[in-house]
Structure formats: structure tokens, C-alpha cells
Amino acid sequence: MVCLDISKLRGEVKLSKLGGIVQISNMIDLDQSSLAEIGEMIALANQIRNYPKEYCESCRGKIMATLFYEPSTRTKMSFQTAMLRLGGEVIGFDNPQSSSVSKGESLKDTVTVVSGYADILVIRHPLEGAAEAGAMYSRVPVINAGDGGHLHPTQTLTDLVTLYNEKGRLDNLCIGLCGDLKYGRTVHSLIKTMTRYHNNSFVLISTPELALPNYVKDFMNAAGCKYVEVPSLSEAMPMLDVLYMTRIQQERFASREQYEAQKGVYVLDREKLNMGKKDLKVLHPLPRVDEITPDVDDDPRAAYFKQTVYGMYARMALIFSMLMNPQYKRKKPPTQSSHPVECSNSKCITKTEPYLPRLFFAAGDMLECKYCDGRTLI
């Protein structure tokens, strides 16, 4: 087996025969992986991209189950394609109404049953902390494919592979994040990870209503990262090495009126793009609605369609690493709550799955939910 070694993330990705691979049990949050492990996955993604025939039978006989409780195009299809290109097979659902979920089956029961049919689970869910909860009851490794407005670690891995290949580095970057910073799980995951690399700074471009949650700002503060909040995309453009555009997510709003008030505030067009640096790279997790005009697509600084292809290789690397991990052992799920309180986040998975133990970490005079990172005053 070939292991991948990155001695310098800024430099060339090299292969070395070290006799092992990245040991990953579950991928719930990319923060659970060290920078060395993330570097190994980036290197493996590039290795698979360059030598696909070497990996086309690597997961033969393995089955991946996709449990998608909310719609997806790129994430679902890139996971499916990733597994098929590795020689494996795919089962699952992409509409919970076509499964026993429509009859009231709990997340616990669905995961327990399906993990008996598959070698790895991929879960996307509209409620925050669902993947963490699912992993507690799964017999096999679990990948978080997005849990509400919380986290999206495989999109972040996609973003890192894209940045490494398009910018040549993951440090010393000024990163602008524009649009829905409140509910944008891709934004939260990306910031949490990029604060771990040296000398990255952030420009937060949003309306006050869609500002970045405080718990994500805490990661930047703890890492000593510089960041500014600005209301204008035009004002931010000259500063940026990377612009991460996001759509305003209608499905996250309580009413159509709230969504309409935010829709169309930020639009990247050719005029604004020309205010940016010549080596700027524009990323977007997609889908887009109206936040990037089509005349930007053919500019060499637009990397969002390349990003979707990098995402397939990133997920191939992750699936391969997890299925080749001989160290996976299912942890016995906790049965008792750590504190006799309820999470204050109305979108936490514990609100609809009442059997889940209430698990919190102490954070000063607050309790932080293990599932969704929501904070509750003691």
C-alpha cells in the first residue's frame, strides 16, 4: 500500500512508501482530523486524479449507503460517482418520503438497520447534529454530507483540494466569504479549518441578518486570525486572494418574506470581478441562483466548476481512506445525559429525536451542545 506524505503544504505533493494510509473512523467535522491527515487526503485526492486506473478496483465488494433527508445534486452525485469509480456499489434514498422515515421511523432505527447492509454511510439531514447522532448508532463509518446550517466537512475538503491546486497553498490567504454566513454550513466548516493554517485572514461580507454566528467567530479569535465584517462586496474585492460566494438559502428561512428581503443583495458580475486581483480565485459550493452572473463563468478566476470535479476526487480519497482503515471500532453510544437541560437551538437534532442523550461541554457560563454546537446559558 502506498502512503501519501506532505512535508510542506505550500510545496509539491509527493508520494512516499510509508506503509499505511490515513486512519479515519467517522467524518463528522474536519476538525477531528489533524493537519497532517488533511494533507494526506489532499495528496491522495491528487494521486487518484492523476492515476485513476490504480484505484478503480480498490473498493470492489464494498457498499456505500446514502441517506439523504434533503435534496442534493453535486454532493449526492459526486459521492455516488466516487464510490462507483472506486469499484464499489451504492444503495440508499434521496427522498425520505420514499422510505420508512415517512412512517415515523427514527434516525436511530434507520441508521441501525441500513448500517447492517453497507460498509459505509453518508448522511445528509436538515437538522443540525444529525450526522453526529447517526454515528452513535451506526455499525460502520459515517460521513457527514451536511447537517442543516451546521457543518459540511466534505465540501471543505473539496475546497481545500481546490485551493491547493488553484492557489498552490493553504496559508497566507485573504479569504472573502459572501452571502449567507449565518446558515451557510460550507462557510462554517471552511472557516473552522482555514483558521488552523498560518496567517490566513477573513473578510465577512453579509447583511446584519445573515452575519456569521458567534461560535464560528470564536474559532477565528482563538486562532488569532484577523477578520473584518463589511457590508459591501465592491469594497472587499481588492483585498481578496479567494472569494467564496454563497447563495441565499430559501429553505433555511422561516418565511418567504424574510428570504425575499435578503435575496439578490450580493451579486458578483464582471464589473465587480474586475475590481479583484489578477490571481483571485472565485469558489462557490453551488447551486447558484443569481449571486454570480453567467458572464463570470469563462473568466480564468472562476474556479467553481473545477471545484465540483475536485470534489469527486476529494470524496474518493475520503471513502478509500475510511474503508481501508482496519482500526474502525464502533463506540458504545452514551445512554445518559451529561446535563439536565435542553439545547437552545430549535434546529438541533435533539428536538425531533427525543431518545438522544443530552450531551454538552462546558464553555464558561454556557453549555455547548455536542451535536450542533448550540450554546445554552447555564
Backbone angles phi, psi at 375, to 5 degrees: -110, 135
142 belongs to a structural domain: yes
Query: Mind listing the pLDDT tens digit for each residue in 225-235?
Result: 999 999 999 99
What was the pLDDT predicted at 222?
Answer: 94
pLDDT at 254: 64
Q: Is residue 221 part of a domain?
A: yes
- Do 11 and 94 belong together in one domain? yes
- Residues 270 and 190 both lie in one domain: yes
How many residues make up the chain in this entry? 378
69 and 188 belong to one structural domain? no
Residues 124 and 198 in one domain: no
DSSP state of 103: G
| Residue the block writes with cell 451504492 | 90
Total-model pTM: 0.89
How would you list the strands of the sheet with 227-230, edge to edge?
227-230, 201-205, 174-178, 242-245, 281-283
Q: Are residues 93 and 210 in the same domain?
A: no
3-state DSSP assignment of residue 123: strand
Same structural domain, 65 and 185 = no
pLDDT tens-place string over residues 183-196: 888 999 999 999 99
Residues 138 and 230 in one domain: no
* The pLDDT value given to residue 8: 37
Per-residue pLDDT at 253: 62
**Per the structure, how many domains does the chain have?**
3
Using the predicted structure, report yes or no on whether residue 9 has a pLDDT greater than 60.
Answer: no
Tell me the average pLDDT across 164-176: 97
338-359 pLDDT, tens digit each = 888 999 999 999 999 999 999 9
Could you tell me if 114 and 194 lie in one domain? no
In a domain, 328, yes or no: no
41 in a domain, yes or no?
yes
Nearest residue to 66 via CA among 147, 173, 142, 9: 142
Identify the CATH number of the domain in which residue 277 sits. Answer: 3.40.50.1370
Q: Which of 294, 323, 352 is the C-terminal boundary of a domain? A: 323
Range of the domain at 144: 3-148+310-323
Among 103-107, 129-133, 148-152, name the one with the lowest average pLDDT.
Answer: 148-152
Asked whether 225 and 202 are in contact (CB, 8 A), the reply is yes
Q: What is the pLDDT averaged over residues 85-110?
A: 93
Read off the pLDDT of residues 22-74 as tens digits, 9 standing for 90 and up: 778 899 999 889 999 999 999 999 999 999 999 999 999 999 999 999 988 88
C-alpha to C-alpha distance for 95 and 20, rounded to whole angstroms: 38
DSSP string, 266-309: --B-HHHHTTS-TT-EEE--S--SSSB-GGGTTSTTB-HHHHHH
- 275/356 same-domain check: no
Residues 244 and 164 in one domain: yes
* Side-chain-facing half-sphere of 153: CA atoms under 13 Å: 19
Alpha carbon 27 to chain centroid, angstroms: 10
